[in-house]
Chains A and B, each alone.
Chain A
Amino acid sequence: MSTASSQAPSPGSPPATATSPLKAVTRFRLFWPAVVLAVLLVANLGFTPGFFAVHVQGGHLYGSLIDILHFGAPLILVSLGMTLVIATGGIDLSVGSTVAISGALACLQISRSADPGSLGTVLTAVGIALGSALVLGVVNGVLVAKVGVQPIIATLILMVAGRGVAQLITDGQIITVTSDPYKLIGGGYWLTMPFAILLSALVVLAAVLLTRLTALGLLLESVGGNPVASRLVGIRAMRLVALVYVFSALCAALAGLMVSSNVSAADGNNAGLWIELDAILAVVLGGTSLNGGRFSIGGTVLGALIIQTLSTTVYTIGIPPETTLVFKAFVVIAVCLIQSPAFRAKLAGRGARARRTAAARPHAVAPINREVGK
């Protein structure tokens, strides 16, 4: 990923030159997410001997690895949008609702049309879904950037109302559609690969190029890293912040199309349920701090794949899939603790503080009465 280049250990600083190549590798930003993913994958080999096998059947690629990529595609997209939002120091809780709304709108449009199988119908449906997501993103963006509502709260509104809107669109039913072009988005194959993988790869690539070939990435990191300084160098933070919420909504909408296309149905109630939490987790796992600033799209993709692999593993081992939540809870806490400066300071300061308190406070009781002659 392009973020990697800027994260290379600094050769000028003395510690880096003195350390071993191994240490240089572990400092590499994507190192730990990659290790976790690799360990998970290898562990799977223990349960499923043919886990790494990929074979071609009827011109399509099949295999567990392909499945992980395929089913992980919507999460990758949502996490991608979330990465940029978190980079500005915000959060977008409404993505799950946006997933549901976009799938519902597209399926409604297709089911109503006279010719559900035509490309034109599907393109219109996709257009409507993405267009509505644009509006939702603008609402979030304006609330956060212009009105100045805290991001959690601002996006909470759409998180609550959005589910209702999605069910309103589907009238509380599950809308099923039969449309080959629509099926392609989430369930079809193209050039031997599941189309969803190609689509998400394309969007990820586009996002990487957009943030790293233009100055967008730098400006976002600056706004997230130090909003005050960013204003004083003349960055138009308000626009940028609004923009990332729009981008996040568009990514979520695309993910919504994928999810509904894959099952050829829109379920306003369950589509994209909890995906906001998985996305936040993916971003955090990928090494982007919740405090904003530096972000790593590559890390986020790895993070999303870790979560997807975890789900797959849990399925294959035969543990109830819902219990992955317990793992996720521990992962969230572990990652946040590692990122927390207070936690690090406490770990580092433990020895030092113990020494100091012992030495400097022989009389830590206040006040010590010493008789003073009048």
Chain B
Amino acid sequence: MQQPVLEVRGIRKEFPGVVALDGVDFRLFPGEVHALIGENGAGKSTLIKVLTGVHPADGGEVVLAGSQVWIAGPLQAQQAGISTVYQEVNLCPNLSVAENIFIGREPRRFGLINWAAMRRRAAELVRELDLDIDVSAPLNSYSIAVQQLVAIVRAVDVSAKVLILDEPTSSLDRDEVRQLFAVIRRLRDQGVAILFVSHFLDQIYEICDRMTVLRNGRLEGEYLIGELNQVQLVSRMIGAELAGLDQLGGGKRRERTAPAGGTAFLQADGLTRRGAVDPYDLAIRSGEVIGLAGLLGSGRTEAARLLFGADQSDGGTLRIEGAETVLRSPRDAIAHGIAFCSENRKTEGLVGELTVRENIVLALQAARGWLRPLSRTAQDAYALRWIRALDIRPGNPEALVRNLSGGNQQKVLLARWLITDSKLLILDEPTRGIDIGAKAEIQKLVANLAEDGMAVLFISAELEEVLRLSHRVGVLRDHRMVAQLDNDGELTPERVMATIASGADQ
């Protein structure tokens, strides 16, 4: 067999409290397009960062073209022959296309940059890949797709051995993807080894030769593309972590009878935002839990943000309690009784240097305005009550929230919205990255809230969890709501997976 150009053996990487990569092996051969697949937290991006020298590995070895290497930084990675093109194009938008291709290695004459030679060579490189780009124009006059291609041109010219493409297609339209794939194929035929990271299964099946699946920081397996169909692949990615979750309802799925009749609390018709999520319809009744399933990047979060006014929709209508409403800001949504727990607890949820008490009362206080402060006694009462009710630890309302563990931080966020009289609770990945006990508690809480009449939109990558809690499951794929499945007791994770994989309910 051919010698792999890049081989990774037993790579280990720990962050405080998390093992991001646990003894992962990985091989990449010249002239192949290799998919790296896994859900959030699977370790894909950590592996890429280890390969590009952004994070040093804690253990294991990287062998490049037969020799062991230590990659100390992006520059060393490039020199060793590994180039990366990221999802958010990491070029300088203010410089010209030619400069972006050559910066740091500009052709020089008498010590000064030879602009004419640089433009000429850039034009040649661009032409070789059949691209029609004016290399002297500033990069930001081109679309993201073209910028991505420029990044690839640079990467390949810098070092033509290994090219890592990290989510290159997530903001491209169909034609742009086709153009990108043409370039990828051309490079593959030239013998470049390409590592392709994407959440779009169709694209993986279209362009890749082999794939490596990661799950929870471990290697799940390496397969030829023909070995697995999409459904098998999705189940390999998501897995089924049944252990521990049986705590909820003794392993039986709860009888989920949907509340009958009446107008929906919230109804979206053809709600959309360009580039984020295609038009979708969704109705949520009080007492109902709607799950949103789909792979990362499928538009789950984007769909939810429109319902909270966090992003503005640019099409469709939204009715709240029957009345047509436009949500201009989160504040509008909160006034209508909608609450939103972001998946990014640290950056979009908590104010780290404030205390648990302050974080809990923040939304209620914001709604009341600064002139009607909650008394300290009332704040303490709220904080203590919910610390006890949700078992937040440490049970000290004056602890700084940034010092809490992930699960406890999530509970603080929930408490924040539970003290406001919200009618619809949007939970985006509320159980991600938290321990199994807290997970079960949060699931139980959601079920109880719904029984008490709260409408809940529950977003999670874990199908078991979604099925356990939801009356109905909306399935998203490629920014599109492809199906809404009634959770009538017959619905199985396999059927949801098949829907995610195929894009239609079969």
Answer whether A and B are interacting partners.
yes
The answer for the CA separation of A214 and B374 in the assembled complex, in Å, is: 8
Q: Which of B58, B79, B348, B367 contacts A228 (CB 8 A)?
A: B348
Q: Which of A213, A215, A367 contacts B80 (CB 8 A)?
A: A367
Q: Contact at B66–A372, with CB atoms within 8 Å?
A: yes
B371 at the interface (CB under 8 A from A): yes
The answer for the CA separation of A233 and B365 in the assembled complex, in Å, is: 9
Within residues 1 to 34 of chain A, which ones have a CB less than 8 A from any CB in chain B? 6, 8, 10-13
Q: Which of B72, B349, B370, B372 contacts A232 (CB 8 A)?
A: B349
Contacts of B334 in A (CB 8 A): 233-234
Contacts of A194 in B (CB 8 A): none
The answer for the CA separation of A364 and B69 in the assembled complex, in Å, is: 8
B23 at the interface (CB under 8 A from A): no
Q: Contact at B396–A229, with CB atoms within 8 Å?
A: no
Chain A 215-226 interface 0/1 with B at a Cβ cutoff of 8 Å (1 = within): 110110110011
A236 at the interface (CB under 8 A from B): yes
Q: Contact at B373–A229, with CB atoms within 8 Å?
A: no
B493 at the interface (CB under 8 A from A): no
Contacts of A216 in B (CB 8 A): 370
Chain B 58-89 interface 0/1 with A at a Cβ cutoff of 8 Å (1 = within): 10000011111111100010011000000000
Q: Which of A219, A234, A364, A372 contacts B72 (CB 8 A)?
A: A364
For the complex formed, measure the closest distance between the CB of B499 and the CB atoms of chain A, giving whole angstroms.
Answer: 30
Interface size of A by Cβ–Cβ distance < 8 Å?
39
For the complex formed, measure the closest distance between the CB of A370 and the CB atoms of chain B, giving whole angstroms.
Answer: 5
Q: Contact at A213–B351, with CB atoms within 8 Å?
A: no
For the complex formed, measure the closest distance between the CB of B357 and the CB atoms of chain A, giving whole angstroms.
Answer: 9
The answer for the CA separation of A372 and B7 in the assembled complex, in Å, is: 14
**Known contacts A218-B362, A222-B362; is A10 also within 8 Å of B394 by CB?**
yes
B54 at the interface (CB under 8 A from A): no
Within residues 402 to 426 of chain B, which ones have a CB less than 8 A from any CB in chain A? 403, 416
Q: Which of B68, B70, B349, B368 contacts A370 (CB 8 A)?
A: B68
Q: Contact at B395–A12, with CB atoms within 8 Å?
A: yes
**Known contacts A226-B347, A365-B70; is A221 also within 8 Å of B403 by CB?**
no
The answer for the CA separation of A245 and B63 in the assembled complex, in Å, is: 57
Q: Contact at A13–B67, with CB atoms within 8 Å?
A: no
Q: Contact at B398–A294, with CB atoms within 8 Å?
A: no
Q: Contact at B330–A232, with CB atoms within 8 Å?
A: yes
Q: Contact at A215–B340, with CB atoms within 8 Å?
A: no
Q: Contact at B69–A219, with CB atoms within 8 Å?
A: no
For the complex formed, measure the closest distance between the CB of A13 and the CB atoms of chain B, giving whole angstroms.
Answer: 6
Contacts of A230 in B (CB 8 A): 351, 366
Contacts of A365 in B (CB 8 A): 70
Within residues 347 to 377 of chain B, which ones have a CB less than 8 A from any CB in chain A? 347-355, 358, 361-363, 365-374
B342 at the interface (CB under 8 A from A): yes
Q: Which of A8, A233, A294, A369 contacts B353 (CB 8 A)?
A: A294
Q: Contact at A225–B399, with CB atoms within 8 Å?
A: no
Q: Which of A6, A231, A234, A369 contacts B367 (CB 8 A)?
A: A234
The answer for the CA separation of A39 and B318 in the assembled complex, in Å, is: 64
Q: Contact at A372–B354, with CB atoms within 8 Å?
A: no
For the complex formed, measure the closest distance between the CB of A191 and the CB atoms of chain B, giving whole angstroms.
Answer: 32
For the complex formed, measure the closest distance between the CB of B335 and the CB atoms of chain A, giving whole angstroms.
Answer: 8
Contacts of B363 in A (CB 8 A): 233-234
Q: Contact at B348–A229, with CB atoms within 8 Å?
A: yes
Chain A 280-293 interface 0/1 with B at a Cβ cutoff of 8 Å (1 = within): 00000000000001
Q: Which residue on chain A has the smallest CB distance to residue B399?
A: A10
**Known contacts A13-B396, A234-B334; is A370 also within 8 Å of B67 by CB?**
yes
**Known contacts A214-B371, A293-B353, A367-B67; is A232 also within 8 Å of B399 by CB?**
no
Chain A 352-370 interface 0/1 with B at a Cβ cutoff of 8 Å (1 = within): 0000000011011111111
Q: Which of A219, A229, A231, A370 contacts B370 (CB 8 A)?
A: A219
**Known contacts A218-B362, A234-B334, A361-B70; is A229 also within 8 Å of B400 by CB?**
no
Q: Contact at B72–A221, with CB atoms within 8 Å?
A: no
For the complex formed, measure the closest distance between the CB of A328 and the CB atoms of chain B, giving whole angstroms.
Answer: 27
Q: Contact at B329–A231, with CB atoms within 8 Å?
A: yes
Q: Which residue on chain A has the smallest CB distance to residue B59?
A: A360
A235 at the interface (CB under 8 A from B): yes
Q: Contact at B394–A12, with CB atoms within 8 Å?
A: yes
The answer for the CA separation of A26 and B216 in the assembled complex, in Å, is: 42
The answer for the CA separation of A89 and B403 in the assembled complex, in Å, is: 22
22 inter-chain pairs at a CB distance below 8 angstroms, sorted by A residue, are A6-B358, A10-B399, A214-B373, A222-B362, A225-B351, A225-B352, A226-B352, A232-B342, A232-B349, A234-B331, A234-B334, A234-B366, A235-B331, A235-B362, A236-B331, A360-B58, A366-B71, A367-B64, A368-B68, A369-B67, A370-B66, A372-B67
Interface residues of B (CB under 8 A from A): 3, 56, 58, 64-72, 76, 79-80, 308, 310, 329-331, 333-335, 340, 342, 347-355, 358, 361-363, 365-374, 394-396, 398-400, 403, 416
